[in-house]
């Protein structure tokens, strides 16, 4: 009987992966490449369920089951599978309506909450796999299977408690953490001749992901906090939208209130190229990207597309050069749009050079090629929206993917080339932040 159930689960698993692959391939082309992640999640879902089913003898015909137990089994089954059911319904809705024709904020919130519980389940699945491997080894040599089953029951009961605790914590991060903005200030001493007797206050923000906000109030608060700093320069390092340029439109009246003494400079992030959304052809996608660029230009922002420009600070001739690259990463995790050679072509190396790159890994190219970038400003990592970020301890799962994921970095071999990584304002995947607050960075450059 259990083998039959396992076969049914495997068939459902295979169907779900194929269905998801085609839906993502049509509606969100960039996500199609991550289908293996969904495959692992689905496998973990089935493995955990089969472990619970087997260990607690759910719906057993041989075990005495009173009415209370039957109700408990049904409730537990519904609660366990309802996130998968919701994702299935959302995928059907997405396939039918298309990402451009749905409430993106609602879609991202619902899917994000489902992703939250799957991340917790995946952690429990990983621990359970290790537990099962160890107990299988013990069972083979010396421990009776009945003892193992007792231990396994206790383990799964503890795992349920951990799941509930983690889920409540992440729901707290969804309701209160996602817009708990912090202003972090850091001072960089450059002693560069182009900044002699001149101090610059730079405000850096990144990863607005405007589609994720359920109301406009968070962005209104962000603009107020930025303007309160009286910045000389505002730098925005990409990912304004999640899927398409239309998400930018409702926020234009808010973003046009941003003020900086010397101007606002921006670059594009990986989400800004329309590869997470369906477009009938590539020309249409490129037009959408151009529309996003025009929105920023109409706001008076200086969007840097693989280019640099000199910024005169005063009548004494003090100046800095602002350089900005389109999305670029030496690891090519996403499609590169950036061109290093164009970005630094004919640059004034006598200036202090501020380099904007959405992905912080461009800093490694700066060092390897000894490019004239004194300060690289980036975002992209989000600090994975989970971790510890304090003056004493900084840790995040993002450190597994990015060596530089949040804060100020320097290299003893390149003392004049620093990097600051902003952990972002918006969210992606998870609509929550726990320990990694959305950040507005104030950099005092001397």
Strand partners, 444: 187, 201
- Residue 52 domain boundaries: 2-177
Residue 310, Cβ neighbours under 10 Å: how many? Answer: 12
Same domain, 217 and 171: no
Same domain, 286 and 300: yes
Same domain, 217 and 166: no
225-250 burial, b at 16+ Cβ within 10 Å, e below that, comes to bbeebebbbbbbbbbbbbbbbbbbee
Average pLDDT in the chain: 88
CA 307 – CA 121 distance, rounded (Å): 45
More confident residue, 342 or 278: 342
How many domains is the chain built from? Answer: 2
Q: What CATH number is attached to the domain comprising 379? A: 3.60.21.10
CA 358 – CA 356 distance, rounded (Å): 7
Q: What is the DSSP string of 281-309?
A: SHHHHHHHHHHHHHHHHHTT-EE-SSEEE
**So what's the pLDDT on residue 161?**
86
> Is 2 a residue whose pLDDT tops 60?
no
Asked if 61 and 92 count as a contact pair (C-beta separation under 8 A), the reply is: no
Q: What is the DSSP string of 196-224?
A: TT--EEEEEE----GGG-SSSHHHHHHHH
- The two three-digit tokens of residue 215, written as one number: 């109301």
Which of 20-34, 127-141, 327-341, 392-406 is predicted with the least confidence, judged by mean pLDDT?
A: 20-34
Same domain, 231 and 361: yes
Same domain, 173 and 255: no
More confident residue, 320 or 161: 320
Of 137, 157, 177, which marks where a domain is finished?
177
Which of 33-47, 111-125, 151-165, 218-232 is predicted with the least confidence, judged by mean pLDDT?
A: 33-47
Instruction: Please tell me the pTM assigned to this model.
Output: 0.86
| Cα-based torsion angle of the residue sequence 211, 217, 223, 229 in order, rounded to the nearest 10 degrees | -130
Same domain, 129 and 249: no
Q: pLDDT, tens digit, for every residue of 57-115?
A: 776 665 566 777 788 888 888 888 888 888 878 877 777 787 788 888 888 888 888 88
Q: Is 231 helix (H, G, I), strand (E, B) or coil?
A: coil
> Is 443 a residue whose pLDDT tops 80?
yes
More confident residue, 441 or 66: 441
Same domain, 358 and 338: yes
Same domain, 259 and 112: no
Asked if 274 and 288 count as a contact pair (C-beta separation under 8 A), the reply is: yes
Same domain, 189 and 154: no
Helix (H) or strand (E) holding 441, with range, is strand 439-445
Q: pLDDT, tens digit, for every residue of 290-337?
A: 999 999 999 999 999 999 999 998 877 789 999 999 999 998 778 899
Mean pLDDT of 402-426: 96
Asked if 235 and 129 count as a contact pair (C-beta separation under 8 A), the reply is: no
Of 142, 157, 177, which marks where a domain is finished?
177
- The two three-digit tokens of residue 432, written as one number: 């929550």
**So what's the pLDDT on residue 407?**
97
Asked if 146 and 406 count as a contact pair (C-beta separation under 8 A), the reply is: no
Same domain, 186 and 157: no
> Is 400 a residue whose pLDDT tops 70?
yes
Same domain, 232 and 154: no
């Amino acid at each position: 009987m259990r083998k039959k159930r396992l076969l049914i689960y495997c068939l459902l698993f295979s169907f779900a992966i194929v269905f998801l692959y085609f839906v993502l391939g049509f509606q969100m082309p960039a996500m199609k490449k991550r289908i293996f992640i969904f495959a692992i999640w689905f496998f973990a879902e089935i493995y955990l369920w089969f472990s619970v089913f087997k260990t607690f003898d759910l719906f057993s015909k041989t075990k005495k089951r009173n009415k209370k137990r039957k109700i408990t089994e049904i409730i537990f089954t519904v609660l366990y599978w309802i996130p998968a059911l919701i994702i299935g319904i959302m995928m059907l809705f997405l396939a039918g309506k298309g990402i451009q024709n749905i409430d993106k904020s609602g879609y991202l919130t619902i899917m994000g909450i489902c992703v939250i519980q799957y991340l917790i389940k995946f952690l429990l699945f990983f621990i359970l796999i290790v537990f099962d491997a160890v107990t299988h080894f013990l069972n083979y040599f010396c421990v009776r299977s009945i003892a193992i089953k007792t231990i396994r029951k206790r383990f799964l009961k503890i795992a349920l408690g951990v799941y509930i605790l983690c889920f409540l914590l992440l729901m707290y991060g969804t309701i209160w953490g996602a817009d708990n903005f912090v202003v972090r200030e850091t001072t960089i001493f450059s002693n560069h001749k182009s900044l002699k007797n001149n101090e610059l206050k730079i405000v850096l923000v990144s990863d607005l992901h405007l589609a994720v906000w359920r109301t406009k109030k968070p962005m209104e608060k962000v603009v107020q906090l930025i303007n309160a700093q009286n910045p000389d320069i505002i730098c925005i390092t990409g990912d304004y939208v999640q899927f398409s340029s239309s998400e930018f439109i409702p926020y234009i009246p808010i973003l046009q209130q941003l003020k900086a003494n010397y101007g606002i400079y921006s670059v594009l992030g990986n989400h800004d190229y329309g590869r997470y959304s369906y477009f009938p052809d590539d020309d249409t996608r490129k037009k959408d990207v151009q529309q996003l660029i025009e929105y920023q230009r109409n706001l008076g922002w200086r969007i840097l597309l693989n280019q640099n420009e000199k910024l005169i600070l005063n009548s004494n001739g003090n100046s800095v050069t602002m350089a900005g690259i389109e999305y670029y990463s030496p690891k090519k995790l996403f499609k590169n749009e950036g061109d290093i050679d164009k970005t630094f072509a004919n640059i004034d190396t006598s200036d202090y050079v501020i380099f904007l790159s959405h992905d912080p890994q461009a800093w490694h190219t700066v060092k390897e090629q000894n490019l004239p970038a004194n300060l690289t400003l980036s975002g992209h990592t989000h600090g994975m929206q989970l971790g510890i970020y304090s003056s004493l301890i900084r840790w995040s799962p993002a450190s597994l993917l990015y060596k530089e994921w949040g804060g100020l970095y320097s290299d003893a071999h390149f003392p004049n080339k620093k990097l600051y990584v902003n952990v972002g304002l918006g969210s992606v995947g998870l609509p929550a932040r726990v320990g990694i607050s959305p950040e507005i960075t104030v950099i005092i450059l001397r």
